[in-house]
Amino acid sequence: MINAGQLDTPITIEQNVTITRNDRGEKDAPDWQDFHKTFAKRMKFGGIEQIEADKVTATRKVKYMIRRKFEPKIQENMRLHEDVDDTEIYNITNIQYLDRFVMILTAEKKL
């Protein structure tokens, strides 16, 4: 069980809405809309550096612990951001269910 006082970071989880096609049949840029707002406990997780396409790419990873009592179905193709700084957008890469009340979202951002 998690103490409500630990959930001190407001976050917004976003989902990708339907992708439309333009006149030439090309997919338009993905459009994101708010899916769910909640409070979380932010846990720093670290980051990695790896070589992709012959260049070094850095990735920052974070974990957020949230209550799942009233949570909608969160999926790994969604993304999230903290409400105090919505410029830091992280893609959800893993969802871990600790028990019936708590879940951990692992998210990452390429730098």
pLDDT tens track for 33-44: 999 999 999 997
Q: pTM score > 0.85 for this model? A: no
pLDDT tens digit sequence for 40-66:
999 977 766 667 667 777 888 999 999
Q: How far apart are CA 99 and CA 64, in angstroms?
A: 15
Distance set, CA 50 to CA 56, 61, 76, 88, 108 (Å): 5, 14, 22, 21, 14
Closest to 42 measured CA to CA, from 101, 84, 99: 84
Question: What's the one-letter identity of residue 68?
Answer: R
Close Cβ partners of 22 (under 8 Å, ≥ 6 residues apart) = 28
In a domain, 23, yes or no: no
Which CATH number goes with the domain that contains 100? 2.40.10.270
CA distance 58 to 50: 7
pLDDT, residue 70, reads 65
Q: Residue 78 pLDDT > 90, yes or no?
A: yes
Domain holding 64, by residue range, is: 4-18+28-110
